[in-house]
Structure 1
C-alpha cells in the first residue's frame, strides 16, 4: 500500500459524556484509642522496638521507614526507601517498584523499565520527580525507569488513591521519585560506590559481557544547620544480551494445521551508558521561610546491535520460494515441518541518545497557622533514535530456493536444522526476496528526533483551623507541554544501480552463532557501510510527513480540607477535596493545518482513615480519576492508501485523533491494615473502579478522502469515501481486585528469630472492558495475578535476602521499527534474585559495605503467543541470561 498523510478527518465518534459521580461516605468507629505514629526515622537508622537502645540499619531500616510512611499517610501508598546513601534495594528503580504490592513490570533487554499498577499498563499512571511532572524518553507519557540512576534517589512512593492536591493525574496511581533533602539529612555525608557486572551469556563475540557502575554523593549543612546542599552523580556502562526469536504469525499449512508464516531469530547486544547528576540546595530564613532548588541531568545512550536470520515460510506465493513438506501436527498446530526457501541474513543497528534536563524551585512560608507555597519547574528531553537495517543473501530474487530449513516446536521455542551457510564469503548486500523496486533496497535508515518540553507552575495557600476540619488549602497548578517528532528516512542501495554490493572483507567481524541450530552468520557494523561507499543513501521524502507537534495546556485549580477528629476512643483523619481540570490541546501534522480542542473535568476525592490504639488502620477512599491519552494518539496526521484486498477496492487509512478525551474512572478503595509498631504490618486492600470513559481503536467506513493527493497505481476506487482507523472514546467497563501485603519481622513471634523477616504481597484483579464494536477487550498491561516476596536476614553486619516476583500473562507493549506500537500477549513469568552483603560498623573499615547479588537466577524467558490456546505457538521468545553484580560502598 502506498502511503500519504493528511489531517482531514470526519465521521469519527470522538467522545462520550462522563457519568456523574455518586459516592457514599461511610464512618467506622472502634472502641480502641488511636495513637499517631511517630515520624519515620531516616532509612539508614531506625529504632527497633525489641529494646530501648537497639538500632537497625540497612534493609531492615529501609523497610521500617517504608512501613512508617504507609502508616502515617492519608492516602493508600506503597513505598521504597534507600537502605543507605546510594543504595536502593535492587539493581534499578524498576525492580524495586515491581516488588511492591499490586505492581509489576515489563522487561526490556532484561531491565524492568515499564511499570504496571493494579493491572493497568504504563499509559494509565503518571511519574513525578519530587512531586513534579517530568518529560519522558519515549513517545508517550510513560516514564522508562532506566532513565533515572537509582544511586541518586532516596526513595519512591506509589500513591494508589487520589487527593485533590496531587494534580499530576493517573487513573491507577502516581509514582513519585524522591531525591535527598539536605536539611532532613542534617549532617555531612560523603559516600562513594562502585560495582562490577557480569552477564553469563556472551552472544556476540564482538560485544562485552562485563560492565560497571559508580557513584559519589556529598551532603552537608552549614549556617548553623539552616542551609544545606546535596550532590549526587552516577555513571553506568553495562552490557545486556538477548536471545530473540520472532515468528511472522501463523497460517494454514498443507493439511490445514496452523504453522509459522516465517521466522526472524537473532542475537541482540545492548551497550547502555548513562551519566546522571542531581543537586539540591535548601535554606531556611528563620522558622518561617524555606527555599528549595533542584537540578537534575541525565545523558542516556543505548547502542544495540542485532544480527539474525530471517526466512519466509508460508507467504501464499508472495515470497518467491516457500515450498512446505514433511508436516506433522498436533491439536491443529504444526509441530514440525521442512521448508525450501530463501533466507535473509540481517545486520541491524539501533542507536538511541537522550538528554534529560530538570530544574525546579520552591518557596515555602509558614507563620501563625498560615502557610503558602510557590513552586515552578521545567523539564525537557531531547532524544534521537537511529534504526539502521541491512539485508544480505546469495543474490537478488534468485530463481530457485537457496536453503532447506526444518523446524520442531519445543517448550523453549522452535529448534532448527539448516543446510544454509550464513557466514559464506559469497553473501552480498541486496534485496534478497526482490520486494523493492528501483533502486534495489539492501537496507533502510529510520532516523527520528523527538523533543519533549514541560513547564509547571503551582501556588498554594493553607490555613489551619482546628477541630474536625484541621485545615483548608486552595491552590492552582498550570502545565504547558509540547512534544515534537520529526522523521528522516532513506533507502540504502548498491552504488550505480547495481543489484548487489559485496561485503568488504575489512568490514567483516567475527561471525555470530545463533543458538537454535541455524549456524554462524556473517557479521559487520552496518553503520560503516554508507561512509565507506558500500551502499548509497537515498532520502525517502515520505518519511518527513510522519512528523507532528502536540501542545497541551492544563489549568488545575483545587481545594482540599484536611480532617482530624476523635471519635470516642478512635481517631479519624483524612481529606476531602475537588479539582477542576481545564485542558487545551493543539495538534498539527507536518505542514498541515492545526486542530484545537478543549474541555473541563471535575474530579472530587475523599480519603478517610480510622486509627486505633491496637495499631489498626482502616482506610476508605472514593474519587473521580482520569488519565490523558497517549501523546502519539493525539497527532494530526493520516497515512492512507488503497486497500486492494476488499471488493470493491477502497481508500483506507489510519491516524491520530486530537479530540480524544481522557480515560476516566470512579474509584473506591477499602483497606484493613495492622501494624507492629514501626517494624512491620499486614494489610488487605480492596478496590473497585468503574471505567466511565475508555479509549479503543475504532473506524468509520464513511471517511471522505476528497482533496487528498492521489495514490499511484491503477485501478482507483470508484468513490473517495473510504475507511479510516483511529482511536476513539468508548464507554469502558470496570475493574476490581484485592491485594494482600505485609512486612513481617519474625521477632514478633520469638526473639530467637531476631533479624529474620519476610516482606511482599500478592494481588488479584478482574477487569471487563469492551472494544469499539462492543466485544470484550483486554487492558494493556493487565495481569490477573501479581505477587512478590523477599525473605531476609540482617544482623551482626550480615545481610542475606532472596526475592521473587511473579505476574500472570498480560498485553505487553513492543516498539516497531516504524516507531509505532505493537501489542502482544506476554506469558506469565517468575523472576528470582538473591543478595548477600556485609557492613563494617567499627574499626578502620567502618562505613564500608560489600555485597554480591545474582539477578534473574533461573534465566526466566519472556515470551508471547500467536495462538492463545496453543502453548507452543510462540510469536516471540526472549532470554536475557543471569547477571552477577559485586560491589562496595563507603560512607564517611
Structure 2
C-alpha cells in the first residue's frame, strides 16, 4: 500500500503548477500557516536532510490544509494554491468564499448598493468586516482609505497559500476582530534545484462577449556555496479581464388612491393626486432602470525572492509589485419620478396583484436630491385594497410646454478609470544561536497608491413606457408620442431667421417630429459631473521575536516574546461627483438638443441584448448617450461643453454653468476640507507561554496563553472649511418683458444674508469693498455690500482653517488557546481572546466642513381667483404670481461633516469551541463561536456643543462616522471533507468537501434621526434611518459550500456550489431612503483538468454556470415588508488554461 500511495502521489504531481505563480502553493503548502507561531527550525537542518516536497494535486492540497488546521495553535482554516487555481476564481476574495464562514463582498456595504463589482473585492468572516489582511505575515493595504488589501487587485497566480485566522493568540498582530487573512507566497527554498514554468489562459465572458488573455512565468534555482546555500527566483504575470454586468432596478410602490392625501414635492409644496383605479388605493410602481456596465481590467505583477542560509541562520528578501488598472463605461436608461413629481405620472392598462399591505409615502424616489421631507416621518400607513401594480403603461405630459410628451427617460453615462499600485519590500532574518533559542528579525517597506476619476454625462429623451415588473423576467416596451416636436425657440443656439406667412417665427434649425428614442431631434444634454480621488500610503515596519524552549518534561514548553513598531502615513484627496445641469430646458441657457450641435457629442447605445435579450421589446431599443471618449476624459468633457458653438454666447463665452473639478493644467482640484494627511505610529509587545502535557491514556493537552500590549499615536492633519451661503442674486422687480415679477421690497428679505447677517460673516468673515466688478454684475449683484470676496462663488466655500487632531490609545489584549488531543485522531479546541480593529484611515481624516442649517418660511401661496356663482368673473389678487421674498429664514443648527479623528477602535471579546476528527482520507469538525463587540463605527450624528449666532443658541452637530453601536454574534460551523478510497474502481477517485455556517447576530440599530433641540423634528432629513433595522451589514444567517471532486492520474474535476442567505447591504438606500437587503444567492462553478504528461496540463474552468442573478429587496415598513429593488446579472466566465513546467 505504501508504494502504491507514493506512486499515486507522484502521478498526481503533474497537476500542481496551476499557473505560473501558483507554484507558491504547491512548493510551500507544507509550511505552517503562520510564521509567527513556529521557530526558525529550517536553519537547524543540514541541506541533505531537507524534507522532500512532493508536488501533488487537489487531494494533497486538501490534506495539507487539514494538517495545517490540526497543528495550528489557534483556530485556522487554510486554502493552498491548488484550491485557488482549480476554480476560475479571478481574485483571492472569491477563492476564500469556499472557507467555512467566509463570504465575498461585491457591493460597497453601508453606502450605495447600486454599483456592484464583477470580481470579489473583500471578505467577511462570520459576518464581520473587521478583517486584517496580511502579505506574508505583514501589514498589507490598498491606498483607498481603508485598512485592508483589495483582494481583487491580487492575482491568484501569486498565491502560495492563504490562512484564515478566526481567533487570536498573543503573537498575532491585532487588528482582526472578524479575523485575519494572511496570504503567503513562494520562497526559493520551497523546492530543490532548478524549476521553471509558463502558462497562458484565455478568459471569455458571455455578457461582455470578448476574449481576454493572461500570461504567467516563473523561474528559480538554489545553489550550495562556500558561505552557505543561496536561492533565487523571479516571476511575472499579466492578466486582462473584460467583463460586464446588467442591472434592473425598480422603485418601491407608492400609494395612489382617493384617500392618500396630497403628498409634497421636492419644494415641500402640495401635489395633486391622480387615481389609477377609481375608488381604489393601489401601490403604484412608477418607473424603471436598466443598467449595463463594461469593465476592462489589466493587472500586472512582478515578484522577486532571494534566500541565503547556513546551519543556524536564514535570510530571506522579497519584493512584490502589483499594478491594477480598470477602465469602465456604464450606461443607464431610467425614468423615475423625482420627489413629489410622481403624482404627475399617468398610468393606464395596469394590472395588480393581491397585496393588501398598507403603504406610506416615504418611498417617492429622489433622483437628484436627498429623499424628500417626509411630512409624517413614514408613520402614516394607507390601506391598500387594489393590490400592488405588476404592469402598466406610464406616461407624463409635464414637459409638454417644450413640445415634448411622454416620460422624460434619462440616459446616464459614467466613465471611470482606476489605478492601484502596491510595492512591498521585506527582509527576514532567522537565527538559532543555541538548541533552545530562536530569534527572528523582520523589516518591511510598503508603498501604495490609488487614483481614480469618473465623469458623468446625462441626456434625456421622451417615451411612453409599458413596464412588466419583476427581478427575474422584467419587460419594457418604449413607444414615442407622435405629438412630440421640440419648440425651436427653446433650443440652445437657436437663431431666428424671420417669420412665415402666418406671422410665426422661423429659425435656422427647426427640430422635426420625434421618430424614435434615438432621434437626436428629441434628445438633449441634461447634466454632467466629475469626481476624483488620489490616495498615497506608506508603511515602514520592524519586529523582533524570540522563542526559548524549556528543557525537561514540565508543563511549560516554551516562552515567546517580541516587539513590533510600524509607522504608517496616508494622504487622501477626494472630490465627490459635482452634479451640474448642462442644457436642460429649465436652466435658461437653452435646450442642448443633440440634433442642433455643431460637433455631435452623442453615440447610440443599444439595450436589445440586456439580460441576453427579451427585456427591452419592440423597435425602440436604442437611445442616445454622451460619447464614451468624453466620459473617460474629464478635460475633454469640460472643453466640449465650453467650446461647443450652440453653448456659447455671441462674445464666445460659455452659457453653461458646468465647471469641472479641474485645475488649469487639467489635474483634479480638491477642496481643502477633502484633503487629509493621517499618520499612525504603533508600538506592540507581547509575551506568550506555550504549554503541553502528554498523559498515559493516549491523551494530551497543549496550548498557549499570553497578553499583547499595543499603543497607537495618531496625528491627523486637515482643514476645517466653512460653507458660505449661496449667492444672493439681485433679481429686478420688472423683467426684460416689462412685467412686474416681484414686490419692490422682496430683495431685502429673500436670502439668508438678509436674515442672518452674523452667521453670514461667521461663515465667511471678509466683507467686500463697495465697488462692483464686471463679474459681480454678470452674477446679478447690484449691491456690493452683499458680496464676501473671500468666498469663491462657484462652490460657496467660506473660510478655511488648518487643524490637527492628535490622540493616543493603549490596550492590553489577553488570549488563551487550549487543544485537548483525545487520541491520535480527535481533539477538542478552545480559544478566548480580546482584539481590536482601528477605524479606516479615511474616517480618521481631520478634513471637515461646517455649514449652517436653516429653515425658510415662505408666504402663504396666493391661489388664483375662482368666480362665485352666479358671477363668471372675479378680480385677481394683485400679488398673485408675484415673488414677495420670504417671511423668515431661521438658523436651526451648525452642522459639521467629514472625517472624525476622535474615533476609538472597535473592540471585541471572542470565544471559540470546536471538536475535530481527522481520519484517513478526510476530516470532520464542528464548532461554536461567539463575539461581543463594542464601539462599532457607523454613520450617525453626535452633538459637539452649542453656539449663539444672530441671537439664537443652536447645537453644533457632527454628522458622519461615530462610535455608537454594540453587537453580539454567535453561531455554529460544520466542515467535512473526504476522498472515498474504499469504493471500487473509478468511484475510489471521488471526494466531497462541504461546510455549513449558522450565524445569529444582533446589533444596535443606527438612531432614526437626531433631534438635538428636542422639538420632535429631525434636525437633518437627509440622514433618517428607517424602521430600526438591527442586522449587521453583510451578515448572512446561513452559508454553505458543497464541492464534488474527482481525481485520478490523468483527470481532475471539481464542481462547487456556494450559497448564502440574505444580508443587509445598506441601512439607507440613496434613492429611496429604505434599508436594502441582498436576497439569498447561490452559484455553481466547475473545473476540469487533463495532465497530458508530467510537464503539460490543460484546464477548462467555468464560473456562474447557473447564470445567477444578484437580487435585492427593500424594506418599506416597520413590520419588515419587502418589495423588489434590483437584480444584477454577471458574466458566465469560461477560462481555457495551458501550463507547462520543467
TM-score, normalised relative to structure 2: 0.66
1:407 equivalenced with 2:407 (yes/no): no
2:91/2:153 contact within 8 Å kept: no
Among residues 335, 342, 351, which one is paired with 2:390 in the alignment? 335
Among residues 553, 556, 564, which one is paired with 1:477 in the alignment? 564
| 3-state SS of 1:151 partner | helix
1:833 equivalenced with 2:1093 (yes/no): no
1:413/1:877 contact within 8 Å kept: no
Structure 1 CA distance, aligned partners of 2:459 and 2:1006?
A: 42
Aligned counterpart, 2:329: 305
Structure 2 CA distance, aligned partners of 1:579 and 1:751?
A: 54
Aligned counterpart, 1:109: 117
Structure 1 CA distance, aligned partners of 2:633 and 2:54?
A: 59
Aligned counterpart, 1:13: none
1:226 equivalenced with 2:229 (yes/no): yes
Offset, 1:642: 2.5
Higher share of residues assigned helix:
2
Aligned counterpart, 2:306: 281
Structure 1 CA distance, aligned partners of 2:251 and 2:169?
A: 46
| Bigger relative contact order, structure 1 or 2 (CA pairs below 8 A, ≥6 apart) | 1
Offset, 1:309: 1.1
| 3-state SS of 2:659 partner | strand
1:604 equivalenced with 2:814 (yes/no): yes
Written as runs of structure 1 = structure 2, the 5 A alignment for 1:35-46 is 44=26
1:67 equivalenced with 2:66 (yes/no): yes
Offset, 1:76: 1.1
1:648/1:717 contact within 8 Å kept: no
Structure 2 CA distance, aligned partners of 1:242 and 1:137?
A: 26
1:199/1:240 contact within 8 Å kept: yes
Among residues 340, 354, 362, which one is paired with 1:316 in the alignment? 340
- Could you list the runs of 5+ residues in structure 1 that have no partner in the other structure? 1-40, 48-52, 203-207, 395-401, 432-441, 708-715
1:298-319 CA-partner distances (Å, limit 9, x unpaired)? 11111010112122236213x8
Aligned counterpart, 1:884: 1134
Offset, 1:663: 1.6
Structure 1 CA distance, aligned partners of 2:145 and 2:53?
A: 50
1:642 equivalenced with 2:849 (yes/no): no
1:633/1:656 contact within 8 Å kept: yes
Structure 2 CA distance, aligned partners of 1:871 and 1:862?
A: 20
1:445/1:492 contact within 8 Å kept: no
Among residues 833, 838, 843, which one is paired with 1:623 in the alignment? 833
Structure 2 CA distance, aligned partners of 1:257 and 1:578?
A: 62
1:413/1:874 contact within 8 Å kept: no
Aligned counterpart, 2:974: 740
Offset, 1:694: 2.5
Relative distance call for 1:498 and 1:314 in structure 2 (3 A) is: closer
1:873 equivalenced with 2:967 (yes/no): no
Count of aligned pairs: 806
Among residues 510, 533, 536, which one is paired with 1:448 in the alignment? 533
1:681-728 CA-partner distances (Å, limit 9, x unpaired)? 110011111224433333246753668xxxxxxxx9955435432333
Written as runs of structure 1 = structure 2, the 5 A alignment for 1:337-486 is 337=392, 338-340=394-396, 341-368=407-434, 369-394=436-461, 402-412=462-472, 414-420=474-480, 421-426=516-521, 429-431=524-526, 442-466=527-551, 467-486=554-573
Q: Whose Rg is larger?
A: 2
2:1029/2:1067 contact within 8 Å kept: no
Structure 1 CA distance, aligned partners of 2:322 and 2:59?
A: 30
Structure 2 CA distance, aligned partners of 1:274 and 1:54?
A: 31
Aligned counterpart, 1:246: 249
Structure 2 CA distance, aligned partners of 1:654 and 1:555?
A: 31
Query: Mean Cα displacement is larger for which, 733-742 or 631-640?
Result: 631-640
1:193 equivalenced with 2:199 (yes/no): yes
Structure 2 CA distance, aligned partners of 1:361 and 1:706?
A: 58
1:522 equivalenced with 2:624 (yes/no): yes
CA RMSD of aligned residues (A): 3.3
Structure 2 CA distance, aligned partners of 1:413 and 1:628?
A: 44
1:49-90 CA-partner distances (Å, limit 9, x unpaired)? xxxx99882111211221111111111111111129976774
Offset, 1:656: 3.0
Offset, 1:120: 1.3
Aligned counterpart, 1:765: 999
Aligned counterpart, 1:397: none
Relative distance call for 1:493 and 1:102 in structure 2 (3 A) is: closer
Relative distance call for 1:754 and 1:69 in structure 2 (3 A) is: same
1:85/1:217 contact within 8 Å kept: no
1:730/1:771 contact within 8 Å kept: no
Structure 1 CA distance, aligned partners of 2:676 and 2:916?
A: 48
Among residues 292, 311, 333, which one is paired with 1:267 in the alignment? 292
Offset, 1:586: 2.2
Among residues 132, 141, 148, which one is paired with 1:142 in the alignment? 148
1:500 equivalenced with 2:592 (yes/no): yes
| 3-state SS of 1:410 partner | coil
Query: Mean Cα displacement is larger for which, 171-180 or 655-664?
Result: 655-664
Aligned counterpart, 1:583: 712
Structure 1 CA distance, aligned partners of 2:562 and 2:907?
A: 23
1:448-504 CA-partner distances (Å, limit 9, x unpaired)? 111122222111222111332211111111222222221346677769966526467
Aligned counterpart, 1:794: 1047
| 3-state SS of 2:142 partner | coil
Aligned counterpart, 1:656: 899
| 3-state SS of 1:223 partner | strand
Structure 2 CA distance, aligned partners of 1:561 and 1:595?
A: 38
1:307/1:512 contact within 8 Å kept: no
Structure 2 CA distance, aligned partners of 1:705 and 1:876?
A: 44
Relative distance call for 1:645 and 1:617 in structure 2 (3 A) is: farther
